[in-house]
Amino acid sequence: MTVVKFSRVVVTGGAGFIGSNYVRYALKHHPEWEIVVLDKLTYAGNLENLANVLERITFVHGDIANPDDVARALDGADAVVNFAAESHVDRSLMDPRPFIRTNVEGTLVLLEGARRFGVKRFLHVSTDEVYGDTSGSDRLSKETDRFAPRSPYSASKAAAEHLVTSYWVSYGLDVVVTRGSNTYGPYQYPEKIIPLFITNVMEGKPVPVYGRGTAVRDYMYVEDHCSGIDMVLHHGKGGEAYNLGARMEVPGIEVAQRILRLMGQSEDLIQFVPDRPGHDYRYAVDPSKAEALGWKRTWTWEEGLAKTVEWYKENEGWWRRVKEKMHFRQYEAAWYASR
């Protein structure tokens, strides 16, 4: 098996949730790397996410859609791992424009920068949502399935993937893509279901569940996602996409119930709210291709969720500062007022 080696790696969106977890993973497993983080520090990007490793990395405050910022980060780099993205479906329903700018235009600027600076490998972090809704079936999405995105967010990620693949075909840029399932763990912005439920319980607020809570997601602990990305970065075949999933399908109502049990609270806190427009009721991927490279999910749903609940309990200052910011409060008020 071919192993691609790197020395200077640029992690875009490295101050976000999965990106910051990957930075810590890389520092642990690849201490010889010089890591450059490029992040715009939008609402979900937070330097606190990197507070304990800032002295070990180079941080560039910039926008992946700005060629000058990209040039500052990519000069001398031999690999790019692109986490930078607007990533929340609900926000994309309220205003799709930032999703097109960052997820599509930003990816294009990065690809051009990778060509210009002779980057050896470009890994693009995508999502299982590009496959669309698979409800009514127990079939697992495969990398060869057609795309059927159903929200502005997933459509922007699908468009970005097409750009990435085109640079492999048109220019010979060595690219690989990962399509991850729903990820959770430390440092996740509390608009997403698991940290929202945990922090709401700690604040004595209701736990809002869409519809009757029957929408299913394949929940993967963030450390497993990071190890999968790293496996594909080093061992993935150029021009190929790889699903990363935990093979653990969980409905939303079970997420709420299990969190409440872990936190010793009654299910009376569950509040059923009107469903999201165009809600996809099932995503589930077949990760066999990544597993064939040697990747293996190690965290169970029960263990990962318990670990996550403990992290939010132990880091109350972090999430309270996030939820107190105007950007979170404005979104929360606008979205739930419209439900």
What is the reported pLDDT for 35? 98
Distance of CA 218 to the CA centre of its chain: 13
What is the reported pLDDT for 124? 98
Partners of 207 in the beta sheet? 270
pLDDT tens-digit readout, 31-70:
999 999 999 998 788 999 999 999 999 999 999 999 999 9
| Mean pLDDT value of segment 153-169 | 96
pLDDT tens-digit readout, 72-81:
999 999 999 9
**Is residue 188 included in any domain, yes or no?**
no
Catalytic site residue 221?
no
| Mean pLDDT value of segment 166-179 | 98
Partners of 58 in the beta sheet? 36
Asked if 9 and 34 count as a contact pair (C-beta separation under 8 A), the reply is yes
Which contiguous run of DSSP H or E holds residue 33?
none
What is the reported pLDDT for 324? 86
What is the reported pLDDT for 82? 98
Q: What is the pTM of this model?
A: 0.94
**CA gap 276, 76 in Å, rounded:** 44
Residue of 336 and 125 predicted with greater confidence: 125
What is the reported pLDDT for 155? 95
Q: Is the pLDDT reported for residue 337 higher than 80?
A: no
pLDDT tens-digit readout, 84-125:
998 778 888 888 999 999 999 999 999 999 999 999 999 999
185: left (phi over 0), alpha (psi -120 to 50) or beta: left
| Mean pLDDT value of segment 155-180 | 97
Of 39, 90, 129, 230, which one is the catalytic site residue? 129
**Is residue 132 included in any domain, yes or no?**
yes
Nearest Cα neighbor of 48 from 274, 333, 322 is 322
What is the reported pLDDT for 88? 78
What is the reported pLDDT for 257? 97
Catalytic site residue 145?
no
Residue of 328 and 302 predicted with greater confidence: 302
The structural domain count of the chain equals 1
| Mean pLDDT value of segment 240-245 | 98
On average, the pLDDT of the chain sits at 93
Asked if 14 and 50 count as a contact pair (C-beta separation under 8 A), the reply is yes
| Mean pLDDT value of segment 156-174 | 97
Helix axes 326-337 and 316-324, enclosed angle (nearest 10) = 70
pLDDT tens-digit readout, 253-277:
999 999 999 999 999 999 999 887 7
Catalytic site residue 153?
yes
pLDDT tens-digit readout, 314-335:
999 999 998 887 555 565 555 5
What is the reported pLDDT for 332? 57
**Is residue 34 included in any domain, yes or no?**
yes
Specify the DSSP class assigned to residue 16: S
Compute how many other C-beta atoms are within 10 angstroms of the C-beta atom of residue 194.
23
Provide, rounded to the nearest whole percent, the portion of the chain with pLDDT above 70: 95
Contacts of 70 (CB under 8 A, 6+ apart): 38, 62, 64, 109, 110, 112, 113
**Is residue 210 included in any domain, yes or no?**
no
Asked if 251 and 210 count as a contact pair (C-beta separation under 8 A), the reply is no
Asked if 182 and 219 count as a contact pair (C-beta separation under 8 A), the reply is yes
> If you search the block for the tokens 């002779």, which residue do you land on?
118
**CATH assignment at residue 239:** 3.40.50.720
**Is residue 201 included in any domain, yes or no?**
no
What is the reported pLDDT for 191? 85
What is the reported pLDDT for 329? 57
Of 25, 131, 153, 283, which one is the catalytic site residue? 153
Asked if 225 and 244 count as a contact pair (C-beta separation under 8 A), the reply is yes
pLDDT band at 4 (very low <50, low <70, confident <90, very high): confident
Asked if 57 and 37 count as a contact pair (C-beta separation under 8 A), the reply is yes
Specify the DSSP class assigned to residue 173: -
Of 128, 133, 161, 291, which one is the catalytic site residue? 128
Full domain range(s) for residue 233: 8-183+221-244
> If you search the block for the tokens 């999430």, which residue do you land on?
319
Nearest Cα neighbor of 17 from 64, 61, 83, 67 is 83
> If you search the block for the tokens 């071919």, which residue do you land on?
2
Assign 152 to helix, strand or coil: helix
**Is residue 151 included in any domain, yes or no?**
yes
Assign 151 to helix, strand or coil: coil
